[in-house]
C-alpha cells in the first residue's frame, strides 16, 4: 500500500484493492485477451492498481450490448421510469460521495476537499437535472399546407453513443456525458482516460445498483487505441468527446467518414480582461482561481490575463504574492490547495513550457521550473509569466498546467484584438464596473462562454462549450439533450 492509499477511508481502500473489470452488457468482465494496464497516483508517482485494457473485441461486445439494450429493455421503458433511474443514480452517487471523492483524489491528484465540494456534487446535480428531462421530450404538430394531412415530429434517441473523456474531471465528465444521453433514451459506451479510470469503474457499480437494464451503460477502460476502436465501430451513431484539440480533429475526421454525429469539447487559451475600472480585489481573486484551479488542468483555465496598464503592476504583484503562498501538495492531504499534475507526461510537458517561456525571453514573477525528475509526485508550483510577446508559444498554446501569462494593454480595441488572436474560442472574462462595456465586450469576444465579473460559473442547465478550435456543439442544458436526439417527421393522409 502506498502512503496515499493508507490515508483512504475503508470503503475507498476496499474498492481500490479489489480486482477491476470492464462493465459490458450488465456484467463485470476482464478484457477478452486478459490484458491490463496500470493506473498511477500522481501524488506519489506510484502504481495504484491495474485495470483491464479493452481491445477491439471488448469494444465490440460493449457496442453490441448497447444496441441490444436500445432495441430491448432500455428502449421500451416509459420515460417516467428512465427518469426515476437517473434520480436513483444521483442518490447513489450522493450516498457514496465521500468514497468517490477519495478515489478521484488518489487516481487523478485533485485535492479531496475539492472533489467533495465541486466534482462529486456537480456529478450528482447533473444526473438530477437530466432526470427531469425524459418526461419532457416532445415532438411538434406542423401546420402544413396540404389539406387533410397530419404532419408531426417525433424526437427519437440517436442510437448507441461512444463517449470519450479526459483525466481532468473524471467523474464529472462521465456525468456530463452519460446523463443527457440516457435522458434522451440513448445507450452508451463510456471510455474514461487511461490516467484516471477508477471513478468510472466505481460509477459502473452504482449504475448496476440503480437497476439500469444490462447494456444501457457500458464502461471500457483503455487508451487511445480503445478510443479509436470505439470511434470507428460501425454500431456507433454518435460520438461525444472531451480532450485535446489534436485528438478532437482526428475524431471529427473519422466521424465524418462514418457520417456519425459528433460533439467535441476541446482546448482553450482563454483571455481574462481586467479593465481600468475593475474591482481589483475581485479581479485578482477571479484571475487566481480562474487559472490555477485544478493546477491549471482545465479547458476553461483563465491562462491569458490582460490588465489595463494603470493596474498592471498592482494586479500582477498581488497574484504573484498569492501564488507564492499556494499550498501545493498531495491530493489526500486536507491542507492541500493545489494537487500534482496528473502524470509524468503532463509534468514534462508543463516543465517544457516553463523552460520555453524563459528561453524566449519572458520572466517568471512567481513559480519556478520544477526539477527534471519529479520528487515523489508531479508537483508544479503556480507560475506567472510577464514580458511574453503575442507570438510566443506560452502565449499561444494550451499549457494545461498552473501557468499564467499576464500582459498590459492600453485601449479596449487593442485588448479585444489580443483576446481573439487565437485559434481557440472557449471562455473569456471581463472585469469592469461598466455595464455597457461589459456587455459590449461579451458580444465582441470570440468564445462559447463569457464570464462578467466572475470566472467558471456553471449550472447543469447552462450551455457549456466553445467556438473555433475549442469544439463543436454544447454540453449541459437542453442544447445537449438535442445532441442526443434525432427528429423524425411523420406525414399522414387523413383522406379516406
The contact set with Mg ion (CB under 5 A) reads 39-40, 107, 195
| Spatial contact of 162 and 231, defined as CB atoms under 8 Å apart | yes
Q: Give alpha helix (H) positions in 300-343.
A: 309-325
* Residue number, nearest CB to ligand NAD: 227
Instruction: Give the C-alpha separation, 30 to 22, whole Å.
Output: 6
Q: What is the dihedral of CA 368, 372, 373, 374, to 10 degrees?
A: 20
| Order of all β-strands in the sheet with 141-142 | 141-142, 149-157, 485-493
Report in angstroms how near the CB of residue 172 gets to Mg ion at its nearest: 16
Distance CA 304, CA 226 (A): 34
Q: How far apart are CA 374 and CA 381, in angstroms?
A: 12
- Residue 207, classed as helix, strand or coil, is helix
- 164 contacts 120 by C-beta, under 8 angstroms: no
315 vs 16: CA distance, rounded Å: 44
Task: Work out what residue 11 binds among ligand NAD, Mg ion, none; the CB cut-off runs from 5 to 8 Å by kind.
Answer: none
Closest distance to Mg ion from the beta carbon of 26 (Å): 26
Residue 265 designated active-site: yes
State the binding partner of 307 from Mg ion, ligand NAD, none, CB within 5 to 8 A by kind: none
Task: Please return the burial class of 257, using the count of CB atoms within 10 Å of its CB with bins 0-12, 13-18 and 19+.
Answer: exposed
Q: Are 422 and 396 in contact (CB under 8 A)?
A: yes
Cβ proximity to ligand NAD, 257 vs 496, nearer residue: 257
| Residue among 227 and 339 whose Cβ is closer to ligand NAD | 227
CB of 432 to ligand NAD, least distance (A): 27
C-alpha 348: how far from its chain's center? 22
| Residue 227 binding: pick among Mg ion, ligand NAD, none (C-beta 5-8 Å cut-off by kind) | ligand NAD
- Pairing assessment for the beta strands 22-24 and 27-29 based on DSSP bridges: antiparallel
Binder of residue 39, out of ligand NAD, Mg ion, none (CB less than 5 to 8 A by kind): Mg ion
- Least CB distance to ligand NAD at residue 242 (A): 5
User: What is the closest distance, in whole angstroms, from the C-beta atom of residue 166 to Mg ion in the complex?
Assistant: 12
Of the candidates 299, 314, 368, 414, the residue annotated as catalytic is 299
Measured from the CB of residue 134, what is the shortest distance to ligand NAD in angstroms?
Answer: 28
Q: Which of residues 252 and 284 has its CB atom nearest to ligand NAD in the complex?
A: 252
- Cα 338 to Cα 402: distance, rounded to the nearest angstrom: 9
> What does residue 386 show for φ and ψ, rounded to 5 degrees?
-125, 170
DSSP state, residue 325: H
Q: How far is the CB of 409 from ligand NAD (least distance, A)?
A: 26
Residue 294 or 386: the one with the smaller Cβ distance to ligand NAD is 294
Nearest to Mg ion of 5, 60 (CB atom): 5
Distance CA 252, CA 241 (A): 10
User: Which CB sits closer to ligand NAD, 131 or 346?
Assistant: 346
How far does the chain reach from its first CA to its final CA, in angstroms?
77
- Residue 32 CB: number of other CB atoms within 10 A? 17
Residue 107 contact, options Mg ion, ligand NAD, none, Cβ 5-8 Å cut-off depending on partner type: Mg ion
Q: Residue 247 or residue 404: which is nearer to ligand NAD going by CB?
A: 247
Q: Which does 266 bind (CB under 5 to 8 A by kind): ligand NAD, Mg ion, none?
A: ligand NAD
Catalytic (active site) residue 186: no
Positions in the binding site for ligand NAD (CB under 6 A): 164-168, 191, 193-194, 223-224, 227-228, 231, 242-244, 247, 250-251, 265-267, 299, 346, 349, 398, 400
Q: Which does 91 bind (CB under 5 to 8 A by kind): ligand NAD, Mg ion, none?
A: none
Q: How many CB atoms lie within 10 A of CB 397?
A: 16
DSSP helix/strand/coil, 265: strand
The residues assigned a catalytic role are: 265, 299
Amino acid at each position: 500500500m502506498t502512503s496515499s492509499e493508507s490515508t483512504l477511508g475503508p470503503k475507498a481502500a476496499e474498492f481500490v484493492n479489489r480486482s477491476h473489470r470492464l462493465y459490458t452488457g450488465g456484467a463485470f468482465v476482464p478484457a477478452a485477451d486478459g490484458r491490463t494496464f496500470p493506473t498511477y497516483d500522481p501524488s506519489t508517482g506510484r502504481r495504484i492498481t491495474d485495470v483491464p485494457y479493452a481491445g477491439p473485441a471488448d469494444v465490440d461486445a460493449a457496442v453490441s450490448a448497447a444496441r441490444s439494450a436500445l432495441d430491448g429493455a432500455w428502449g421500451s421503458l416509459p420515460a417516467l421510469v428512465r427518469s426515476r433511474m437517473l434520480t436513483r443514480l444521483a442518490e447513489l452517487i450522493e450516498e457514496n460521495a465521500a468514497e468517490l471523492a477519495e478515489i478521484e483524489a488518489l487516481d487523478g491528484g485533485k485535492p479531496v476537499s475539492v472533489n467533495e465540494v465541486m466534482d462529486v456534487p456537480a456529478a450528482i446535480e447533473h444526473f438530477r437535472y437530466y432526470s427531469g428531462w425524459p418526461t419532457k421530450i416532445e415532438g411538434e404538430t406542423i401546420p402544413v399546407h396540404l389539406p387533410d394531412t397530419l404532419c408531426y415530429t417525433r424526437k427519437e434517441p440517436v442510437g448507441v453513443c461512444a463517449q470519450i473523456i479526459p483525466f481532468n474531471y473524471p467523474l464529472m465528465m462521465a456525468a456530463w456525458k452519460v446523463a443527457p444521453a440516457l435522458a434522451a433514451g440513448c445507450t452508451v459506451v463510456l471510455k474514461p482516460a487511461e490516467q484516471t479510470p477508477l471513478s468510472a469503474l466505481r460509477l459502473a457499480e452504482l449504475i448496476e445498483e440503480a437497476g439500469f437494464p444490462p447494456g444501457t451503460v457500458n464502461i471500457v477502460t483503455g487508451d487511445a487505441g480503445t478510443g479509436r476502436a470505439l470511434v470507428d465501430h460501425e454500431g456507433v451513431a454518435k460520438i461525444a468527446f472531451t480532450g485535446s484539440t489534436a485528438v478532437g480533429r482526428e475524431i471529427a475526421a473519422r466521424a465524418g467518414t462514418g457520417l456519425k454525429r459528433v460533439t467535441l469539447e476541446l482546448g482553450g487559451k482563454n483571455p481574462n480582461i481586467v479593465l481600468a475600472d475593475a474591482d481589483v480585489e475581485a479581479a485578482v481573486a477571479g484571475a487566481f482561481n480562474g487559472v490555477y484551479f485544478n493546477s491549471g488542468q482545465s479547458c476553461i483555465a483563465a491562462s491569458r490575463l490582460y490588465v489595463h496598464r494603470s493596474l498592471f503592476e498592482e494586479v500582477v504583484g498581488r497574484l504573484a504574492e498569492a501564488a507564492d503562498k499556494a499550498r501545493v501538495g498531495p491530493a489526500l492531504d486536507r491542507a492541500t490547495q493545489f494537487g500534482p499534475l496528473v502524470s509524468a507526461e503532463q509534468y514534462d510537458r508543463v516543465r517544457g513550457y516553463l523552460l520555453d517561456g524563459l528561453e524566449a525571453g519572458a520572466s517568471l514573477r512567481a513559480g519556478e521550473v520544477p526539477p527534471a525528475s519529479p520528487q515523489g509526485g508531479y508537483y508544479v508550483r503556480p507560475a506567472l509569466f510577464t514580458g511574453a510577446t503575442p507570438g510566443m508559444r506560452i502565449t499561444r498554446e494550451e499549457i494545461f498546467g498552473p501557468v499564467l501569462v499576464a500582459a498590459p494593454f492600453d485601449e479596449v480595441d487593442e485588448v479585444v484584438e489580443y483576446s481573439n488572436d487565437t485559434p481557440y474560442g472557449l471562455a473569456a472574462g471581463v472585469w469592469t464596473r461598466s455595464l455597457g462595456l461589459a456587455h459590449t465586450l461579451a458580444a465582441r469576444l470570440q468564445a462559447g462562454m463569457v464570464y462578467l465579473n466572475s470566472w467558471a460559473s456553471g449550472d447543469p442547465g447552462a450551455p457549456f462549450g466553445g467556438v473555433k478550435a475549442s469544439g463543436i456543439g454544447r454540453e449541459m442544458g437542453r442544447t445537449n439533450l438535442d445532441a442526443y436526439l434525432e427528429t423524425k417527421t411523420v406525414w399522414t393522409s387523413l383522406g379516406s
